Amino acid sequence: MAMACSGHMPVVAKPQPRTHSRTRHSPSNTCEISSSSLHFLGKDTAPTRRFHASPIKNATFARRSKLALVATAKPDPLGIMISGAPASGKGTQCELITRKYGLAHIAAGDLLRAEVAAGSENGKRAKECMEKGQLVPDEIVVLMVKERLLQSDSLENGWLLDGYPRSLSQATALQEYGIQADLFILLEVPEEILVERVVGRRLDPVTGRIYHLKHSPPETEEIAARLTQRFDDTEEKVKLRLRTHHQNVEAVLSLYKDITIKVNGDAPKEDVFAQIDIALSKLLEQRKATSGSLAA
């Protein structure tokens, strides 16, 4: 039988594709980085990329990281002590050492004056002693030195202790605080040369510059006329100071004999520094080698 047609075809719903998807589990050694996770970094969106971890590549990366760590490992900073008799050229060598090696230059006399000027607790105690005409006790000076050695520039760059310790008691006190140097430099100059250097030394009170009548005379007559001489820069007094210095140094060396180098100070300053430079360079190389072997 024929069916009547009304002119409208019935609408048959077309099946829609399934919108859900199965979750695929990646192997344990697969890392997925999706485009959405990179979007906040300003990266262009892209389909998910998979990077498969490789044990060989991981081992190579670890080795390279280790090598980089060794290469960038910084050896411990140097701790240097330098001693020399009056007019031995110690001040000049300290300047040359700090200029090349960047060590913190620490002189006990400078520390003492700075603490007194700052009105610190140690400075007040030191000032009381000086006003009474007494020597500042070792315990006060050692505390000043210890605190200075704990400042950031000394800890990071190393330090150069100028003319200290001067006695066995000072050296012992430093050791009790755990302060140990890597090298003790002793400048040696014959006594007759030291006497000549000291007796001929003059001070310009206007500029603070030190002259020597023979080796570094003043530039003009005007400067020469105003030069002064320290009251203890006489032959008799300098010999007494040298005798005391030698006695004290011998006592100090008994504690530092294993790290002491003796440098000929009776030479041009460049030649004296060349001797010191060789010792410090060798010490640094040994330190780097030790640091590298420990990192390995």
Q: Is 166 a known active-site residue? A: yes
Q: Name 183's Cβ contacts closer than 8 Å, sequence gap at least 6.
A: 78, 79, 80, 81, 259, 260, 261, 279, 280, 283
Q: Is 50 a catalytic residue?
A: no
CA distances from 33 to 39, 48, 51 (A): 11, 6, 8
> In 3-state terms, what secondary structure has residue 143?
helix
Of the candidates 266, 36, 78, the one whose C-alpha atom is nearest the C-alpha of residue 184 is 78
Residue with tokens 């050296």: 171
Q: Where are the beta strands (DSSP E) in the chain?
A: 30-33, 49-52, 79-84, 104-107, 159-162, 183-188, 201-203, 210-212, 260-264
Asked about 202 being catalytic, the answer comes back as no
**Catalytic annotation present for 209:** no
Which one-letter amino acid corresponds to residue 263? V
3-state secondary structure of 263: strand
State the catalytic residue, choosing from 43, 230, 269, 282. 230
How far is 90 from 273, CA to CA, in rounded Å? 10
Q: Look-up: residue for tokens 């605080």?
A: 177
The question of whether 127 is a catalytic residue gets the answer no
On the question of a cis peptide bond just before residue 15, with omega within 30 degrees of 0, the verdict is no
Q: How far is CA 198 from the centre of its chain?
A: 33
Residue bearing tokens 């360079």: 281
| CA–CA distance, 123 with 119 (Å, rounded to integer) | 6
Catalytic residue among 148, 166, 197, 202: 166
Catalytic positions are 90, 166, 201, 230, 241
